[in-house]
Amino acid sequence: MNQENIKQFLKQLGEIEIKEKEPLRRHTTFKIGGPADFFISVGNKESLKKLLLFSFDSKLPVFMIGGGSNLLVSDQGINGLVLHLDGEFNIIKETQADGSVICGAGIPFTKLIAEAAENGLGGLEFGWGIPGTVGGAVINNAGSKGEWILDYVEKIRFLTSNGEEGTINRGQIISAYRFSGLKHEDRVITEVFLKLVKKDKQEIKKSLEEFAGKRKHSQPLDMPSAGSVFKNPKGCFAANLIEESGCKGLREGGVMVSNRHANFIVNVGGGKAKEVLSLIKTIRERVKTRFGVNLELEIELVGF
């Protein structure tokens, strides 16, 4: 299907914002990424259904982007449609006294935590400062210090690639360290149902301040990055292996291995995806040579 036919269809839809050849560096925490053919912010379920069905029938590739964290997007960008959930997907829809919360999958994780805290609901404090949306957090089972978002999820609602609605209960979702069985399934999460814990507001606030302080002290939050690049191998920390392999401070063009946290690659200015890939290759080779460990990527490579 040619670009004009795609544009004509998109213009018929309500509550969407369309940008052609939109640089994805504007939408990733790494500030890296080439253009999307079409970058579309969609604000309601009916428009999303029509977009998914259209792309399915037209065999157009679709990529969902949330907060743009945990991603390395190719310098060539992404073909097809890049969809971003907004509007009704970016709110908490219901909060109950027993801790039940229903929210849109496009709401930032930290916004959910903050609004829940205002209602005296905790449990997700470990996620304070983790960038990205709730939908992305669920797909990747975001967590810290042995706590995971899926511990608090009761069910999710989703749309299939052809726009059909469905529901998955927590017991049907396979989960592990920084992983869920939803990751490679052909679904778009639209709503997340959680069961949080009733807590004192001041207790929650104190926990949030502690988590924020630890992250500020240990992570290079003042520079663009995609978060931890590698998963922690069983029984050890990737950052320690990388540092002890002499990789801290390594630089390739506009990106470098952080001097503050060796499992972060930071964009020091004008960084390119190809430069990040080069650093990843060097780190893996050095760690493999020194420790015999194959580091597994935590970040997702898109458009390569």
Return the bridge partners of 18, or none. 40
Contact 297, 283 (CB under 8 A): no
Q: Is 218 an annotated catalytic residue?
A: no
Rounded (5°) CA angle 260-178-104: 105
Closest listed residue to residue 10, CA positions, set 85, 80, 89: 80
Roughly how many angstroms between the first and final C-alpha of the chain, as a whole number?
A: 22
Give residue 76's identity as a one-letter amino acid code.
Answer: Q
H helix intervals, the chain: 3-11, 45-58, 109-118, 134-139, 201-218, 238-244, 273-291
DSSP conformation class of 231:
P
Q: Is 225 an annotated catalytic residue?
A: no
Among the listed residues 41, 175, 228, 245, the single catalytic one is 228
Q: Is 178 an annotated catalytic residue?
A: yes
What residue has token string 């992570």? 219
Contact 62, 103 (CB under 8 A): no
The three-state DSSP-derived secondary structure of 42-95 is: ECCHHHHHHHHHHHHHHCCCEEECCCCCCEEECCCCEEEEEEEECHHHHCEEEE
Among the listed residues 88, 147, 178, 215, the single catalytic one is 178
Rounded (5°) CA angle 141-147-153: 55
Among the listed residues 125, 252, 275, 298, the single catalytic one is 298
Annotated active-site positions, please? 178, 228, 298
